Homo-oligomer: A and B are copies of this chain.
Amino acid sequence: MRRKLNFGEIISCMFYKTKRILLAVAASFIVVTSQAQSVKSDSTVIRQIFQEALTKGKSYENLRYLCTQIGPRLSGSEGAAKAVAYTKQVMEGYGFDRVYLQDVMVPHWVRGDKEKAAIISKKSNVSVPIRALGGSVGTGKKALSAGVIEVKTFEELKALGREKVQGKIVFFNRPMNPAYIETFQAYSAAVNQRSSGAVEAARLGAVGAIVRSMNLFLDDFPHTGGLRYDESVTKIPAAAISTNGAELLSQQLKENPALQFEFKMNPQTLPDAPSHNVIGEIRGSEHPEEIIVVGGHLDSWDLAQGAHDDGTGCMQAIEVLRLMKVLNIKPKRTIRAVMYMNEENGVRGGRQYAEQALAKKEKHIAALESDAGGFTPRGFGIEASPTIVNQISKWQYLLAPFGLNDIGEGHAGTDIGPLKNDNIALIGLKPDSQRYFEIHHAATDTFDRVNRRELELGGASMAALIYLIDKYGL
């Protein structure tokens, strides 16, 4: 695209000059009003937030460190401990009013070192990449080898019955439905295979479960993620298979329904380990007892750097407070950035935060979470009373110029869920969702998949909304 090479050139010249004049005017305006902040219009403040984020934002460089120098940080791991120390240090460096850790005991699951590609056919040497699902038991000292039953739904599995399932590995192969515009809907409609497949299979006597990765694209990366066992049902080993691997396995089963699938893994669940939520806050000037929380989760799956899930959310939460501080926005209420620990396999951090808030009788008026990737922000999903949803939606005219058109009821966030009550607004940043399930919980969730502008726009969007909530209340 070339766009207006002739006429546009003249325009852009004029535009550039006009802009310089406008900037000069704006600069003097800032000087005049710096002692009288209330004079500034909301649109001026929001414009400044976005300008600062896009020109001098820090979340991208902070994320680079978290991803490339610390990397994976599953609860209980050394990476998680380093991430706690790092984010505390970053917030202290920005001079927030208070930065502290909140103790929390977390599950401690480790993958082990025996995990190997699964063998589909020994004869023709066909193998595919798999990865244990988070929380899975191992296969024992030997590899697990058994026949395979492919199903798409739990109903189909139940219809097969114990006779056909006993002693088999159940292969759950219902793809995410690509027809959804919002990819999280496709995830919601497919993820029960991963979270409950092992239990449902074991109920009928299966010896293992293989789950097609929660991925909207065909590639070779297994996507892990949490599973749940039922204490009344035998725990069987369960692993994710890449989408290409799932296609191949399905094809091979058509050719040879009696094929033997073989895989080995030795994950372990260790005793619960001590860890922390990391909290930074700017104290409110008028109502310090009223709290607005903004956050993401600090833990991440062990296969990658946890860039989009959820390094971005943590760095954006810190950025919200930094933007307010550097732009001299003095909130009436206390604004807290919380890096929750253990979203991925327990939500212990989110629960602990809510329990402590209750114990201390803290009044939270809103909680905002960013945990859907660091992509271009499109709006906010809100879980609250219709009155509150309506009130937030009314600010859309202030936010739409920044691409935030999609504001209304919707999923907020897993970590802030435990804070739910009748008066609080739980809010989730809603970024563009198209690329998320290419990298989610897989080795591909790395820093190089994050675009600087998209990430900084997300932090600015969160800061703009927090600014409005703080100024007008809910």
Q: What's the Cα separation between A221 and B403 when bound, in Å?
A: 29
B179 x A51 contact (CB < 8 A) = yes
A451 surroundings in chain B (CB, below 8 A):
434-435, 438
B432 x A376 contact (CB < 8 A) = yes
How many copies altogether? 2
Nearest CB of B to A178, in Å: 5
A435 surroundings in chain B (CB, below 8 A):
451, 453-454
Q: What's the Cα separation between A376 and B373 when bound, in Å?
A: 15
A1 x B310 contact (CB < 8 A) = yes
A336 lies within 8 A of chain B by Cβ: no
A54 lies within 8 A of chain B by Cβ: yes
Against B, the Cβ 8 Å flags (1 = close, 0 = not) of A1-40 are 1111110110111011101000000000000000000000
A401 lies within 8 A of chain B by Cβ: yes
Nearest CB of B to A135, in Å: 11
B454 x A434 contact (CB < 8 A) = yes
Against B, the Cβ 8 Å flags (1 = close, 0 = not) of A440-464 are 1000000000011110010000000
Q: What's the Cα separation between A344 and B457 when bound, in Å?
A: 30
A166 lies within 8 A of chain B by Cβ: no
| Closest residue of B by beta carbon distance from A179 | B51
Q: A189-B16, A435-B451 are in contact. Are A179 and B55 (CB under 8 A)?
A: yes
Against B, the Cβ 8 Å flags (1 = close, 0 = not) of A391-434 are 00000000011110110000100100000000000000000101
Q: Which of A120-128, A180-188, A240-248 makes up part of the contact surface?
A: A180-188
Q: What's the Cα separation between A195 and B371 when bound, in Å?
A: 43
Q: A154-B13, A192-B9 are in contact. Are A216 and B3 (CB under 8 A)?
A: no
Nearest CB of B to A209, in Å: 15
| Closest residue of B by beta carbon distance from A371 | B1
A184 surroundings in chain B (CB, below 8 A):
3
Q: What's the Cα separation between A19 and B6 when bound, in Å?
A: 53
A378 lies within 8 A of chain B by Cβ: yes
A1 x B440 contact (CB < 8 A) = yes
Interface size on A, residues (CB 8 A): 68
A372 lies within 8 A of chain B by Cβ: yes
Residue A3 contacts which of B13, B19, B188 (CB distance < 8 angstroms)? B188
B2 x A226 contact (CB < 8 A) = yes
B2 x A414 contact (CB < 8 A) = yes
Against B, the Cβ 8 Å flags (1 = close, 0 = not) of A162-204 are 0000000000000000111101100111111001100000000
A228 x B5 contact (CB < 8 A) = yes
| Closest residue of B by beta carbon distance from A344 | B2
29 contacts between A and B (CB under 8 A): A1-B309, A1-B343, A1-B372, A1-B414, A2-B225, A2-B414, A3-B184, A3-B187, A3-B188, A4-B411, A4-B414, A5-B228, A9-B192, A9-B195, A11-B188, A12-B188, A12-B191, A13-B192, A15-B188, A16-B153, A51-B179, A55-B178, A178-B453, A181-B402, A183-B453, A216-B453, A432-B432, A434-B451, A434-B453
- 19 more CB-based (< 8 A) A-B contacts, given A3-B188, A12-B190, A216-B453: A1-B310, A1-B372, A1-B373, A2-B226, A3-B414, A4-B414, A8-B188, A9-B192, A11-B188, A12-B189, A12-B192, A13-B192, A16-B153, A16-B192, A19-B189, A376-B376, A400-B405, A434-B451, A438-B451
Interface residues of A (CB under 8 A from B): 1-6, 8-9, 11-13, 15-17, 19, 50-51, 54-55, 153-155, 178-181, 183-184, 187-192, 195-196, 216-217, 225-226, 228, 309-310, 343-344, 371-373, 376, 378, 400-403, 405-406, 411, 414, 432, 434-435, 438, 440, 451-454, 457
